[in-house]
Structure 1
Amino acid sequence: MLLCDVVTTSASVAATRSRLAKVEAIAGLLRRAGDQVGTVVSYLAGAPAQGRIGAGWRTLVGLSVPPAQEPTLTVAAVDTTLGEVAVTSGKGSAARRTTLLEGLFGAATADEQRFLLRLLTGELRQGALEGVMLDAIAAAGDDTVGKQEVRRAFMLSGRLADTATAALTGGAAALAGFGLTLGRPIRPMLASPGESLAEALAMGECVVEYKLDGARIQVHKDGDDVHVYTRTLREITGAVPELVDLVRALDCRTAVLDGETLALDDGGRPRPFQETMSRFGATVERELPLHPYFFDCVHLDGTDLVDAPLRERNAALHRAVGDALVIPGVLAPTGEQAEQVLADALERGHEGVVVKDLDSAYQAGRRGKAWRKIKPVHTLDLVVLAAEWGHGRRTGYLSNLHLGARDPDGGPPVMVGKTFKGLTDELLAWQTTEFPTHETHRDDWAVHLRPRLVVEIALDGVQVSTRYPGGVALRFARVVRYRPDKQPADADTIDAVRALLPGAEAAGRG
C-alpha cells in the first residue's frame, strides 16, 4: 500500500464531523491494507508502530528536504525506515537518524512530508480516536466480526494494531484467541461521574468503595515474577520495589489485580497526588513509600475472571490479597451505610466514593453506568490549550490557562473556559518552564500549546455561553492538579461538560 492512500484517508477523516463517515473511510482503507493493516492502524491512530523513535521535535522540524514530485513511497518502506531510526544508538546515532529521516522525507511528496512530520511529532489529529478506530476495525472485518468482539480483543491485547490484524486476517476466531496473558497489561475499566449517591445506588445491588486520591496500578503476579503497570499500561516495576515485594508475598500463585497506590502521611492521610506520581519516574533509592489498595481481581490461580460478575471478582480479590489490602468499602450497603462510607472517605482526605454494580463484567475503557464516581465537588480533566502571561505579582510567569474538552468524534479539543485560580507559586514556575516545550506559537499575551497536558479542574457548575465554541463555559473554575498519568484521550468530553448544565440530566431522561 502506498503512503499516499493513508494520507488521503487521513485528510478525508479530518475534513468531516460525521463519525459514520470517519468509520467508513477508515474501514475502506483497512480492507485494502493487506499485511500492512497493523501499521496503517497505528498511523491513523496518530503514532508510528515503533512508538518513540528517538528523534526529537527540533530534529524533525529542522529537516529541509525537497519533496518528491510523484507518490511512490510505500507504507512498508516507511515502517522499515522508522524501525531503523528507532534502534539506532551509540556514537554518531543522532547523525545517522538524521540521514535516515532525510532519505525518508526525500522520497515523500509535500503532502506526505506534512503527514509524516505530524505523525512523528504527535500532531496528527485527524479525528481517528480509539472509539472510531475500533468501530472501523469492526466494519472492515467479515460478517463474523462485531464491535463487542473487537472491543474485548482490544482490552486484552492492549494494542489497536494487533486487534486490527487479527480481525482482518482471522475474523472472530482470531479475535477470540486473545486471552488474558500474565505480564501483558489489559486496558482498565473506567468510572463515569454520577450526579448523586442516591442515583448511583438505584442501579441495583452494588459495592460502595472509597475513591482514593492516588494513582491507578495494575499488577501481574506469576509466582515470584511481578510486574506493575500504570493506567496507560506503562511498566513501572523498577520504580516501585515495595509494591513488588508485597505482591510477591501474597498467598496465591498467579493473579492480575487492579487498584490504586498512594503515599500516606504519618496520620494515614493521602499525601499530595504529585508526590505519589513522582515515584513512578524514580530511578534512585525510594524515600517515599507507596501503599497499594486493590479493588478488582481479573485473574486468580489459573482462572480468568474478566467476564465474571463483580461479586465473584470481589470474593476472589479478598482471597488473593486479604482484607487489609482491599480498598475500604461496603458490599451491598443500605442507603445509610453508603452515606457513612462517603462521609468516612471524605473525613480521611479522599475524593469520594465509587459505586459499582455487582452484576457487571470487567469492560475496559467503558465509562458506562456500571461504575459511578461520586464526589462532593465537580471536577473535570481538561486539556491545556494555551496560557497567558501574568500581571502584577505574576508578571513573567505563564498564568491564565485556556482549557479544552475532548471532542468525542476526534476533532481538536473544544475550548470551554479559562482560569488562573488555584495556581501555586510552584505551579506557576513549573508552567513557565514546561509550557514552551509544548509550544506551537505565541503572540503578545499567550503561549499556545500542542494538546498534551491534562489538568484536573474543580468547578461550581457550567453555564450556557456563546463566548466559547462548545456553547458552554465553566463557572468558578480552579486548578486542582496536573494529571501526568493521563493522556489527552483520557480527558473529559465536551458532552460530559454539557451534561453539567442545569437541567441536562432531566432533559436527557425526557
Structure 2
Amino acid sequence: MLFGDIETALAAVTSTRSRLAKVDVLAALLHELEPGEIEPAVGFLTAAPRQGRLGVGWRTLATRGGSHAPVPTLTVGEVDETFSRLVEVGGPGSATVRTALLDDLAARATESEWQLLIRIMTGELRTGALEGVLVDALARAADRDGAAVRRAAMLSGDLGETAALALTGSIDELAAVGLVVGRGVQPMLASTAATVSEALDAAGRASVEYKLDGARVQVHRHGDEVRVYTRTLADVTHRVPEIVEVARSLPVDDVILDGETLSLDDDGAPRPFQDTMARFGAETAREIALRPWFFDILHVDGRDLIDEPLAARIDELDRVAGEYRIPALVTDDPVAAETFAQAALHAGHEGVMVKGLDAAYSAGRRGKSWLKVKPVHTFELVVLGVERGSGRRAEWLSNLHLGARDPDGSFGEPGGFVMVGKTFKGLTDQLLRWQTAHFAERATGEVPGGIRVVPDTVVEIAIDGVQRSVRYPGGVALRFARVKGYRSDKSAAEADTIETLRAMLPGGGVGSSVDEPENPLDERTTP
C-alpha cells in the first residue's frame, strides 16, 4: 500500500465529525492492507510507530527541506523500514546516518506526505482516529464481533498486534486471546462522583477504598520472575526493586495484581506526589522507597478473575496481598462510607474510590462501577504550549497552556484538545528546570512568547472551579489553576475531557458566556 493512501484516509477522517463515517473510511483502508503492513499502518494512524520513540525532534525534522517527490510513490513498508533503521542506529557517526535517512525519506515523500510524517514522528497527529474508532473499523474490516476485537485489544495491550490477528487469523484465534502473566493488560479506569453518597447511590453495595496520590502499577509474577508495568504498560521492573521484592514474598506462584505505589515519610505519611514520581522514574533504588498497595487481582495460580465480580476478586486479594491490601471498607451505609472517607483524608490521601461489588474488571474501560471522590477539584490536562518566563524565571519555560481532550471534535479539531487556561502557579525551581528541558525537545512550532509542543505531556492541575468564557472555543476557563505535578504515568488519551469541565458550570455548561480573565495575575507583571 502507498503511504499516500494513509494520508488520504486521515484527511477524510479529519474532515468529518461522524463516527460512522470515520469507521467507514478506516475499515476500507484496513481491508486493503497486506499482512506485513497491518501493524505499521495502525502505528501511523495513531502516531505511535511500532518501533516506539524514534529519537528525532521537531527542529531536526523541520530543517529537512529541499525537493520532495512530485507524486506519491512511497510505500507503507518503506516508511516502516526507515523507522526501524532510525531506532537501530547508534554509536560514533550515528547522527550523520540518521540525517541521511531522514533526508532520503523526505526526498521520497511528497510535500504533504512529509508534513504527515513529521506529525507521526513527533506524535502530533490529531485526526480523530482514536483507538475506539479504530477498533470498530477493525471489526468491520475483518468481519469480526466488535466485543471480541475490543477484548483482545485490551487483554493484549497492543492494538497493532490485535489488528494483525483479527485480519489474518481465525475467529477462534481471536477469541483465544486472554490474560498472559507477564504481558501488560489495559487497566480499568474510574469516573468521578461529587460525594460519597452519590457514588454509593450509583454503585450500590461497594468496596470503599483509600484513593492514594501515587502511581498506578500492575504487577505480574510467574514463579520468581516479576514484571511491573505502569498504567501506560511501560515496563519499569528495573526501577522498582522494592515492589519486585514484595511480589516475590506473596503466597502465590502466578498472579496479576493491580495497585498503586507511593513513597512515605519517616512518620508513615504519604510524601508529595512529585517525590513519588521522581523516585518512580529513577533507574536505581534511592533513599526514598516505594511501597505498593494492591486493590485488585486479575489472575491467580491458573485462574482468570477479570470476569468475576469484585466481591469474588476481593476474597482472593485479601488472601494474597495481606498487609499490602489497600485500606477498604465494604458497605452500603453512606454514614459509614463518609466516616471512612474522612479517615482517608486525615491520613493525607486524596479521597476514596467507591467500587460496585457486582462489577467485573472492565480492562481499558471507564464506567460507573468505579467512582473516585476527591474534595479538591483536580484534573489531568495536556500541555499544548509553554511561554518563556520573566524576571528570575527568564531563563526557563514557565507559563503552561493547558488543554482538555475533545474526542468528538465538538469544540475544535476531532480527536484534538481544547485550550482551557494557563498557569505558572505551583511550579518549583526543580519542575521549571525539568519542564524547560523536556518541552524544548517536544517543540513543534511557536506561540506568542513561547513554543507549541507535542500534546503528549499530562499535568495534574488543581483548580477552585471553572467559569464561562468566550476566550476559548470550549466556552470554559479554569479558575485559580495551579500545578500539582506531572503525570508521566498517564497518556494524553487519559486526560480529562472538555465536557467534564463544562459539566462543572452552572446549568451543566449551557447559557451565555462572559469573557473572564484566564488568570488573575499574569506572570509578566508579577514581581
TM over 0.5: yes
Aligned residues: 504
1:27/1:276 Cα in 2 relative to 1: closer, same or farther (>3 Å)?
same
> Unaligned 5+ residue runs, structure 1?
none
Deviation at 1:464, TM superposition (A): 2.6
More deviation, 401-410/62-71 = 62-71
TM-score for both structures, normalised by structure 2: 0.90
Counterpart in the other structure of 1:318: 318
- What residue identity is the alignment partner of 1:185? G
Q: Give the SS at the match of 2:21.
A: helix
> In the alignment, which residue of structure 1 is the partner of 2:375?
376
Aligned to 1:354: 353
| Structure 1 residues 446 and 90: alpha-carbon distance in aligned structure 2, compared to 1, 3 A threshold | closer
What CA deviation, in whole Å up to 9, does each residue of 1:17-56 have, x standing for no partner? 2222222211111111131222211110112221123444
SS at match of 2:401: strand
Partner of 1:129: 130
Pairwise CA distance, 1:394: 4.8
Kept after mapping to 1: 8 A contact 2:310/2:358: yes
Aligned to 2:118: 117
Question: Could you list the runs of 5+ residues in structure 2 that have no partner in the other structure?
Answer: 409-413, 512-527
Task: Report what 1:189 is aligned to.
Answer: 188
Structure 1 residues 162 and 458, CA, compared in 2 at 3 Å: closer, same or farther?
same
**Residue correspondence of structure 1 range 87-126 to structure 2 within 5 A:** 87-126=88-127
- Please say if 1:441 is aligned against 2:442: no
Q: Contact between 1:296 and 1:317, CA under 8 Å: does it hold in 2?
A: yes
Q: Aligned partners of 1:330 and 1:239: how far apart in 2?
A: 32
Match of 1:152 in 2: 151
Write out aligned runs for 1:264-275 (5 A): 264-275=264-275
- State the SS of the aligned residue for 1:91: coil
How many angstroms does 1:210 deviate by?
A: 0.3
The within-5 A match list for 1:31-110 is: 31-35=31-35, 36-110=37-111
Task: Tell me which amino acid in the other structure corresponds to 2:125.
Answer: L
Residues 226-237 of structure 1 correspond to what in structure 2 (within 5 A)? 226-237=226-237
Once superposed, what is the RMSD of the aligned Cα atoms?
2.1
Q: Indicate the SS of the match to 2:227.
A: strand
- Does the CA-based 8 Å contact 2:255-2:299 persist in structure 1? yes
Would you identify which runs of 4 or more consecutive aligned residues in structure 1 move more than 6 Å?
none
- Secondary structure in structure 1 of the residue aligned to 2:406: coil
Fraction of identical pairs, as percent: 55
Aligned twin of 1:456: 460
1:206 CA drift (Å):
0.9
- Tell me the alpha carbon deviations over residues 95-123 of structure 1, each in whole angstroms, 9 at most, x when there is no partner: 23333333333222222222222211222
Query: Is the CA contact 1:354–1:372 (under 8 Å) kept in the aligned structure 2?
Result: yes
How far apart are the structure 2 equivalents of 1:393 and 1:89?
39
- Residues of 1 paired with 2:284 and 2:296: CA distance? 30
Take 1:88 and 1:478, find their aligned partners in 2: how far apart are those partners?
Answer: 41
Superposed displacement of residue 433, structure 1:
4.2
Q: 1:424 to 1:50 in 2, by over 3 A?
A: closer
C-alpha separation in 2, matches of 1:196 and 1:65:
59
User: Secondary structure at the residue paired with 1:95?
Assistant: helix
The aligned residue for residue 252 of structure 2 is 252
Residue 138 of structure 1 aligns with which residue?
139
Does the 8 A contact of 1:85 with 1:97 survive in 2? yes
Shift of 1:395: 5.0
CA distance in 1, matches of 2:401, 2:276: 26
What is the alpha-carbon distance in structure 2 between the residues aligned to residue 338 and residue 444 of structure 1? 49
1:139 match: secondary structure: helix
More displaced 10-residue stretch of structure 1: 414-423 or 357-366: 414-423
Question: Residue 56 of structure 2 contacts residue 122 of structure 2 at CA under 8 Å; is this kept in 1?
Answer: no
2:516 paired with 1:500: no
Q: Secondary structure at the match of 2:364?
A: coil
Amino acid across the alignment from 1:129: L
Q: Distance in 2 between matches of 1:136 and 1:495?
A: 25
Give, in whole Å, the separation in 2 of the partners of 1:15 and 1:171. Answer: 34
Name the SS for the 2:500 alignment partner: helix
Q: 1: distance between equivalents of 2:297 and 2:285?
A: 30
| Secondary structure at the counterpart of residue 24 of structure 1 | helix
Equivalent residues of 2:356, 2:369 under 8 A apart: yes
Q: Does residue 178 of the first structure (1) align with residue 182 of the second (2)?
A: no
